[in-house]
Structure 1
């Protein structure tokens, strides 16, 4: 029999003003079935002005008193995620083999690490390339959702809203271009020199593209999932869409293979409508009517799926906001440098 696969894992948590969520996040990690002597947590605070640091210290004391994983709190002078993760890489114990990326407004099931370790062993045995990353499914946060949160979750569960990205409701383990909430091989991360700190957002997309270019395999598994708190207002939903579009352009400029023509369909639709308005005005309403019809059908489908009548209004609103803000962000990405996110 071969040796049992028991990776030594460090969970890295860059945080900023996460007092509403960090306690639940850390306690979900403390309660892991995975042996605590094989798991530790590094929290990188980017200058929180709320009770985040206090709550992290309390969780660290609780973990120590209950035999849980060690929790270290460090200041992240760079403030942003990429800087925090790179800083954590410089602090890893020598024996660390894998790094798990999470965020402060997420929680995981008690068997999350155990499942990832088992899946890693299984996939590495069948994958010809060295395995660098194993991602998870992204699910709604635990607990009752507000109306806007319900609209957002329904929209992200739609093919018109997820785009096959990190919120894709995939059902089978498979290779993946950009996995979410990844368990990484430490060796692979070091092989590509960590995260690119010029990416304030989408730093994980950039890392995944560089890992793939280096010859590594990237996978995702539905057997492991992360519950994530998303947007709770339409204004933040708009800002999130713009940010995603903006940084998609920055990623494509560095990695042209990341280009997806479907993400430019709203612009093609707008140009088509304008051309018809100038040349055949009688037909200019057809693209708009077709788009409205698709939104209506999707709203009906989501309402029947989730049993929430308000989705008849909420899904079309959220889809229009997402398509518009993302499309504007795509163009904005060509025009200026990035800045800190304001959509949380």
Structure 2
């Protein structure tokens, strides 16, 4: 619901203000003219006593001449000034009304567009083409805001659709397994255990996805929480303990080059960054592949770079890897992971005032670098 406008509108107020100012000035000028006319006429030369003068067909004695002339002059000034006053005030009101209407037209367009807007009609724009003044700047700013809103709503709809798709898969697996098992009257303990393992894996996958969504929402919406000095070497070591088992099972070797950097940030989120990068490096690697982890500190940025072997990545699709539910540039086709790993990495880096870059490795694989502000620049 839109609020009802109280009192006269801006156009009426500007018109009243301009008309009032002109009226006050006109009255002041009329009064000054009245005083000056009387003063000028009062200074006429005096005539000998007893002399009479005809003024407008009326005989006037010499000693009354100045007073009569002054009264006549003031009456004429008042008559002519009143006519001029009415004309000037009327012209000012009309001109102010027309000019303000023309000037405020883009504002009315902004208001009308805002009233018409909804989630389904965010494509409307004002498209002001008049004079490039402050009002035009406001209209352009409003259009730019609509561009950002439309992009945000589009991203949100896509994100919700992808999240729903991802959550529907493990829920469907759980329901199918339960229905099949319950429909089998001869299901033995082994069948029940198999069903339980499948359900357990599906619930773990759904839990990981929900947790990742919460982390992403928290980082994008609330930013960084409690901050303090964080040793990247310690963070990487803790993250590697979770990924080491799968790496050893697949024969993947990891090399660490520690530059002993320290950054200011949220240790839990930064550990999630390192964990996501290492998990991706293992999950999307080749059996018998390699991982190279480097940290370094420069005058402006402290960097964490995770490079790994793997399948060839199209350089034109590297940017897509940071979009939600993208895995290796393929939209929702992998059977492991949540598809939010690099999205969370980017969100956490931005929340810390940093950025993330990625580039393909010649021969196959990917190199991801997280840039965080150095301690001296925080």
> Which TM bucket (shorter chain)?
under 0.3
Q: Which has the higher helix share?
A: 2
TM score, norm. by length of structure 2: 0.19
Question: Which of these two proteins has the greater Rg computed from alpha carbons?
Answer: 2
Which structure is higher in RCO with an 8 Å CA cutoff and minimum separation 6? 1
